[in-house]
Structure 1
């Protein structure tokens, strides 16, 4: 049995979850670091891995937007985030320099999608989409084992969805777009609209409205990318009736088109739109997989 270990970071805007996994990807230990200043947060992560290794490679799934283009001078930087003090922060170079190991990087939601694709709800499928609904909204997509990149990474939280101003006079909370999906349906938007955080909301109107916006997002995602399964995660998605409400709305919006079971058969819909199999560990498990990939790539290019 190999004694190789891998490091993983789920780098969120509130906390960084650090973990060490064994050669098979099983989590051995975890730790939580508050997200304060970049220097203090990265420094605490370095100390965590020095205490537990250091590992052979580290994978980082970070909040964004983040530059993932290897040929870019800003590769590895969180870019235009509204989080104070974090815009244009390099998260890769300090880890690589301090620990002298390969570092794999992707968005936090792409990492979660990768974790579910390899070890959770997407195992055995060709394509998977993971939508996280928490303080913000993001979507990660995995195609044949690789997270989807292109011009940048998916920014699905900022798609435009229709808003009925009479039914929902809230103008949206997104500082860039107002009433985009994130501006209407994120946890931050729910707090501003209703005056309470989602976990304290028991108003059926609030959750019907939320389900309507998320169903529009799922239908748009289905029509645009045709994933074989959609995982709905994040803190807001933990509200017990929400996924069932979204499923019902998706079926209505799809209106039988196209005629595939996932959109027309309630039993198939239950298997198409699902909660994360890995629970709260999707992101950190995916970061372990990023570390495994980074070490493999480093060996192949040596």
Structure 2
């Protein structure tokens, strides 16, 4: 804490990179650092080093010694021990508090990370409460608290990038159940005459992630998604697959808004095509004006930009502290 004010640590734990931050919300980020995801030992060690240095010699020193890139504010230089740390983690993960492997990554295809005890390692090393959830539930929480999901409950956040995942906020909290939502691995209609690509998911081949993630697009078209120009057939096909998910979510969770984030969503014309196709798939059955008349305000990009996950991690930390 600094001056009696609780300061929180947030960790956006991605399969490609980790982002750690220290603060209380979007207008008060006192330090931030990012570094590539390597081995569990090295990566979690850098997380611990960042927060220890923030507590011991100031956030600016923590930024330098963690060896990443980012920004540390002078206001935090006197040192700030996080009262709790939240982790929005790639997965799948175990979110059952009664489970012996709570806080672990489970069946991830990320080499070397299956079975890693993320929450336990950080709790033991830092000595503070640790809030833990999926990366997309964390992003959904951040958007619900400060971004495009404010006042929209239930609310869904979907990310489309290296993988595809979705998080839901229901009655103010991230949705958990048997495990956690795996929206990227739902089955979608796959017309092999139109799209002969077999799919790239190591578990399901042509689930949504296997057909519409960034790596799937690159394998299908022979070029990274971000290099494909406007008018390329990739974008109409991508819009169709994502609309299958959007329409399915409307009919199952009935969210008041769905945010689509992630690098692939920057594709030229993707949002308008996805909105149009979603309305076609719903075929007038769902009569809410939100989808019949105002779908541009229903399927939207993140209000927090790329910061949704790390800010959601701060919210997870705050909840962990409140829970004791």
TM-score of the aligned structures, taking structure 1 as reference length: 0.96
State the 1:51 CA deviation: 1.5
Verify the 8 A CA contact 2:204 2:210 in the aligned structure 1.
Answer: yes
State the 1:204 CA deviation: 1.9
Supply the distance in 2 between the matched residues of 1:286 and 1:241 (Cα, whole angstroms): 28
What does residue range 247-286 of structure 1 map to in structure 2 within 5 Å? 247-265=275-293, 268-286=294-312
Supply the distance in 2 between the matched residues of 1:90 and 1:182 (Cα, whole angstroms): 25
Cα deviation digits, residues 223-270 of structure 1 (max 9, x gap): 1110000000001012242111100111111111121112211xx101
Cα deviation digits, residues 191-243 of structure 1 (max 9, x gap): 11011111111152000000000001100111111000000000101224211
Supply the distance in 1 between the matched residues of 2:26 and 2:259 (Cα, whole angstroms): 24
Match of 1:184 among 211, 235, 249: 211
Match of 1:137 among 152, 161, 164: 164
Supply the distance in 2 between the matched residues of 1:219 and 1:127 (Cα, whole angstroms): 15
Is residue 294 of structure 1 aligned with residue 296 of structure 2? Answer: no
State the 1:125 CA deviation: 2.0
In structure 2, the CA distance between the partners of 1:33 and 1:244, relative to structure 1 (3 Å rule), is same
Show the counterpart of 1:78: 105
Supply the distance in 2 between the matched residues of 1:34 and 1:24 (Cα, whole angstroms): 23
TM-score of the aligned structures, taking structure 2 as reference length: 0.89
Q: CA RMSD in A?
A: 1.3
What does residue range 28-107 of structure 1 map to in structure 2 within 5 Å? 28-53=30-55, 54-107=81-134
Helix, strand or coil for the counterpart of 1:9?
strand
Helix, strand or coil for the counterpart of 1:77?
coil
What does residue range 240-251 of structure 1 map to in structure 2 within 5 Å? 240-251=268-279
Supply the distance in 2 between the matched residues of 1:110 and 1:25 (Cα, whole angstroms): 21
Show the counterpart of 2:148: 121
Verify the 8 A CA contact 1:18 1:45 in the aligned structure 2.
Answer: yes
In structure 2, runs of 5+ residues without a counterpart are 56-80
Structure 1 segments of 4 or more deviating over 6 A? none
Helix, strand or coil for the counterpart of 1:42?
helix
Cα deviation digits, residues 257-291 of structure 1 (max 9, x gap): 121112211xx101111000000000001000000
Verify the 8 A CA contact 1:3 1:22 in the aligned structure 2.
Answer: no
State the 1:24 CA deviation: 8.6
Show the counterpart of 2:75: none
Show the counterpart of 1:169: 196
Is residue 213 of structure 1 aligned with residue 212 of structure 2? Answer: no
In structure 2, the CA distance between the partners of 1:142 and 1:175, relative to structure 1 (3 Å rule), is same
Helix, strand or coil for the counterpart of 1:76?
coil
In structure 1, runs of 5+ residues without a counterpart are none
Supply the distance in 2 between the matched residues of 1:232 and 1:126 (Cα, whole angstroms): 16
Verify the 8 A CA contact 1:2 1:23 in the aligned structure 2.
Answer: no
State the 1:23 CA deviation: 7.6
Helix, strand or coil for the counterpart of 1:199?
helix
